[in-house]
Structure 1
Amino acid sequence: MQCTQDLDFYLSSILIIVGLLFLLRQLTEPAGYGKHVPKKSAPNFILISAKYGWFIQESPSFFVPIFVVLYNQRWDTLGWKMLLVMFCGHYFQRTFIYSAITRGRPTPLYIVILAVIFCSYNGFLQGHCMVHVATYPKNWYTDIRFISGVIVFIIGMAINIHSDHILRKLRKPSEVDYKIPHGGMFNYVSGANFFGEIVEWFGYAIATWSLPGFAFALFTLCSIGPRAYHHHKFYLLEFKHYPRERKALIPFIF
């Protein structure tokens, strides 16, 4: 495993610890945004449009790694280029495409601020690892770790985007009621979009074979995995005829 330089090790360790703490925090109560904004506290929150919120909070993960790379002018192997394209490709879609078409509810401003901090932190960590620490042979794109990681990443990203599309089409722009999603991975789990993103980042971690990559994948699992569980509970309480065979996050298991 690469990226053993002190800075990357410490930053990755912090990311893992924060992820585990976030997991413990969400065991009993979900993070307060989206359908889980506390109704009693909502009037006290400063809310921001979902479109602006997603653009603001996701953009550091796209721009920060690119600035790190351009500043150091490291762009020398095909495998290394593809790893950067994978990471920034996800956040390009989130920043410029998803934010423009989302029909999500307004998000508390403090959630957006916390997300900006995280995305800036993680964007710097992943970019710093690629530029200053990780070394890949010129034929890294033929390595089984790279190939399998890219395949898993693409599958996860496809599930994530398709699931978001299903959720977006559930309601017309003027509608606010929640509906039961059907199709794709939603036939198996309530948190299909979360499942896709978790798979995506574990694929990235395998392809990079780096500590920062695995730290980010673990953080993703700890942060949105419990959210899938709370979504599942919400659906079961909200809809009497919700499909009982569905699991929360992992098909057929959990």
Structure 2
Amino acid sequence: MVLSVLLNIIFPPPPSLFVSAMSLISFVSLANAGFSEIKGKHLNYSKFWNSNTTPQKQIKLSSKSGMLLLYTPAFLAAAASFWVFPHEGIRSTLLQGAVTIHFFKRVFEVLFVHKYSGAMLLDSALPISLSYFLSSATMVYAQHLTQGLPEPRIDLLYPGVALFLVGIVGNFYHHYLLSNLRGKGEKEYKIPKGGLFEFVICPHYLFEIIGFVGVSFISQTLYPISFTVGTTFYLMGRSYATRRWYLSKFEDFPKDVKAIFPFVF
């Protein structure tokens, strides 16, 4: 039953060992990273940049440099895809555009929106950067392999565009609210207010998930779906750890504020 429904909404899996392997690897590695966050083993960036490590023995980057390292290769890969795979139809063009806009927004935020208080370890930055780069390139390549295949019976292209836009705008708005928490020169953390921060501590993660669901709907191929499900598990784990961190640091943190899904989790 599930397989029958799935075959109605996605393109037939391409005969590509690389894409099939990446679909499995992305899901397993991201889901495992999410469970690791819950267990207290964090990826070393943001407020957890020096968790579970001996920073004096690691190469430390400024947060801004580290974040640029995370997102720039993926943005360049997505942007270059317009030259590598030009004019392959509206679905492919929208997919390429969505991935490019997603990572361009991240680079833009690093340069002009975010305010930083910590650092990032190179040992964490490199695998995350590689993961984003491969994910960006694989999404585009998986779409390229659908050329000549029949369209899925259920067309989710334009609902996907709508969800992507909701995700990208909601994510940016809540990043903007976070940046406004600190005045010039301030580095301490504060309890976020405004928007969906009244209900969850990581609404920017919620909108990131919505955006990737949109990308999956635009693409309707196996790899973005696997990446989105894995990313959902990871961001659930990261948001759970973030909420636990706020509870430990702020006695007045509101207990009814959830991690990522309002009223639920």
Partner SS state of residue 255, structure 2: coil
Contact 2:33 2:234 in 1 (8 A): yes
How far apart are 1:196 and its partner, in Å? 1.2
Task: Single out whichever of 99-108 and 191-200 deviates more from structure 2.
Answer: 99-108
How far apart are 1:69 and its partner, in Å? 4.1
How far, CA to CA, are the matches of 2:53 and 2:70 in structure 1? Answer: 25
Contact 2:82 2:96 in 1 (8 A): no
Contact 1:3 1:129 in 2 (8 A): no
The yes-or-no answer on 1:200 pairing with 2:200 is no
Alignment equivalent of 2:179, drawn from 163, 168, 171: 168
How far, CA to CA, are the matches of 1:225 and 1:163 in structure 2? Answer: 17
How far apart are 1:225 and its partner, in Å? 1.9
The yes-or-no answer on 1:19 pairing with 2:30 is yes
How far apart are 1:241 and its partner, in Å? 1.3
The residue type paired with residue 226 of structure 2 is A
Task: Identify if the C-alpha distance between structure 1 residues 70 and 25 changes in structure 2 by more than 3 Å, giving closer, same or farther.
Answer: same
How far, CA to CA, are the matches of 1:188 and 1:79 in structure 2? Answer: 35
Correspondence for 1:224:
235
Correspondence for 2:156:
145
Note the alpha carbon deviations across 1:189-227, whole angstroms, 9 max, x for none: 001111111111012112211111111212221222211
Partner SS state of residue 176, structure 1: coil
Correspondence for 2:197:
186
Contact 1:103 1:173 in 2 (8 A): no
How far apart are 1:133 and its partner, in Å? 2.9
Contact 2:35 2:237 in 1 (8 A): no
The residue type paired with residue 131 of structure 1 is H
Correspondence for 2:11:
2
TM-score relative to the length of structure 1: 0.89
The yes-or-no answer on 1:28 pairing with 2:39 is yes
Correspondence for 1:239:
250
Partner SS state of residue 38, structure 2: coil
Aligned-residue Cα RMSD (Å) equals 2.2
Contact 2:61 2:121 in 1 (8 A): yes
Q: Give 1:59-70 correspondences, 5 Å limit.
A: 59-70=72-83
The yes-or-no answer on 1:85 pairing with 2:97 is yes
Partner SS state of residue 107, structure 1: strand
The residue type paired with residue 8 of structure 1 is V
How far, CA to CA, are the matches of 1:38 and 1:49 in structure 2? Answer: 16
Task: Identify if the C-alpha distance between structure 1 residues 25 and 135 changes in structure 2 by more than 3 Å, giving closer, same or farther.
Answer: farther
For these two proteins, the number of residue pairs brought into alignment is: 249
Partner SS state of residue 244, structure 2: helix
Partner SS state of residue 27, structure 1: helix
Gaps of 5+ in 2: 1-9
Correspondence for 1:252:
263
Correspondence for 1:128:
141
Alignment equivalent of 2:60, drawn from 47, 60, 64: 47
Aligned-residue sequence identity (percent) comes to 20
How far, CA to CA, are the matches of 1:239 and 1:135 in structure 2? Answer: 56
Note the alpha carbon deviations across 1:21-72, whole angstroms, 9 max, x for none: 223322211323221122872333322122222122111211113334423x
How far, CA to CA, are the matches of 2:259 and 2:31 in structure 1? Answer: 19
How far, CA to CA, are the matches of 1:206 and 1:49 in structure 2? Answer: 36
How far apart are 1:182 and its partner, in Å? 0.5
